[in-house]
Chain A
Amino acid sequence: MSATAERGVNALREQIDAPVASFFSSCVSCGLCADACIFFQETQDPQYTPIRKVELLRRVWENEYTLFGRVKSMLGLGNTITEEDFTEMERLVYDSCTMCGRCTMVCPVGNDITMMIRKMREGMSAAGHAPVELIGAAKRHTKGNSPMGDLSKAIQSQVKHAIADTGIDIEFDKAGVDYLVILSAQEIAEYPEVIGAMAQIFAKAGVTWTISSEAFEATNVGVQIGNRDVAKYLVTRVVEAAEKLGVKKVISPECGHAYQALRWEGPNLIGREYGFEVVHIIELLDQLRAEGKLKTSGKDTDKITFHDPCQINRRGGINKEPRRLLNMVAENFVETDDAGTMNWCCSAGGGVGANERAGDLKNAAFQLKKRQFEKVAPDKIVTMCAFCHHTLENALEDNDMDIEVAGLTEMMAEYLDDED
Chain B
Amino acid sequence: MNNPYFDLLMFARGPLFDLALLVFVAGILIRIVEILVLGRKKDFSKAKGKPVQQGIKTIFTRTLPRPGAIKANPITIVGGYVFHIGFFIAFLLFVPHIALIEALTGLSWPGVGRVIIESATVIAVIAGLALLYTRWKDPVRRKLTTWVDYLVLILSLLPLITGYVAVNKLFGDPTFMMALHILSVDILMIVFPFTKLMHAFTFAMARYYNGSIQGRKGAES
Contacts and interface: CB of A to CB of B under 8 A. Distances in A.
A and B touch in the complex (CB under 8 A): yes
Interface of A: 16-19, 21-23, 25-32, 34-35, 40, 44, 46-47, 49, 51-52, 65-68, 104-112, 115, 263-268, 270-274, 277-278, 313-319, 338, 341-342
B206 A25 contact: yes
B209 A109 contact: no
B41 A17 contact: yes
B40 A104 contact: no
B139 interface: yes
Interface string B42-83: 011110110000000011001101101100110011001000
B44 A26 contact: no
Nearest to A115: B213
Contact of A32 (B45, B73, B205, B210): B73
Contacts of A104: 210, 214
Given A31-B140, A65-B38, 11 more contacts: A21-B35, A27-B196, A27-B199, A30-B80, A40-B140, A65-B34, A108-B80, A110-B206, A111-B206, A274-B46, A277-B46
Interface string B9-50: 000000000000000000100110011101111011110110
Contacts of A314: 219-220
Contacts of A51: 144
B199 A25 contact: yes
B38 A16 contact: yes
B86 to A, nearest CB: 17
A280 B94 CA distance: 55
Contact of B69 (A22, A106, A264): A106
B39 A317 contact: no
B97 interface: no
B143 A17 contact: no
Between A16, A32, A106, A272, the greatest number of chain B beta carbons within 10 A of the residue's beta carbon is seen for A32
A108 B65 contact: yes
B44 A110 contact: no
B174 interface: no
B141 interface: yes
B77 to A, nearest CB: 7
A26 B210 CA distance: 12
B219 A315 contact: yes
Nearest to B64: A108
Between B43, B142, B143, the greatest number of chain A beta carbons within 10 A of the residue's beta carbon is seen for B143
Between B66, B73, B80, B149, the greatest number of chain A beta carbons within 10 A of the residue's beta carbon is seen for B66
A270 B205 CA distance: 27
A272 B44 CA distance: 6
Contacts of A271: 44
Contact of A111 (B35, B210, B217): B210
B43 A268 contact: yes
Given A34-B140, A67-B30, A26 B80 contact: no
A273 B80 contact: no
B206 A342 contact: no
B73 A26 contact: no
B202 interface: yes
B193 interface: yes
B73 to A, nearest CB: 6
14 contacts: A17-B39, A21-B38, A26-B199, A28-B196, A29-B146, A31-B76, A49-B143, A68-B30, A68-B193, A108-B80, A109-B202, A110-B209, A112-B209, A317-B219
Nearest to B143: A46
Contacts of B66: 105-106, 342
A107 B138 CA distance: 18
A28 B72 contact: no
B194 interface: yes
A268 B44 contact: yes
Contacts of A44: 139
B128 interface: no
B159 interface: no
B139 A46 contact: yes
Nearest to B27: A68
A22 B44 contact: no
Contacts of B34: 21, 65-67
Contacts of A270: 44
Contacts of A318: 218
Interface in B132-177: 138-146, 149
Contact of B76 (A30, A65, A109): A30
A51 B69 CA distance: 17
Contacts of A68: 27, 30-31, 193-194
Contacts of B63: 108
Contact of A22 (B41, B73, B209): B209
B133 to A, nearest CB: 13
A22 B202 contact: yes
A309 B47 CA distance: 20
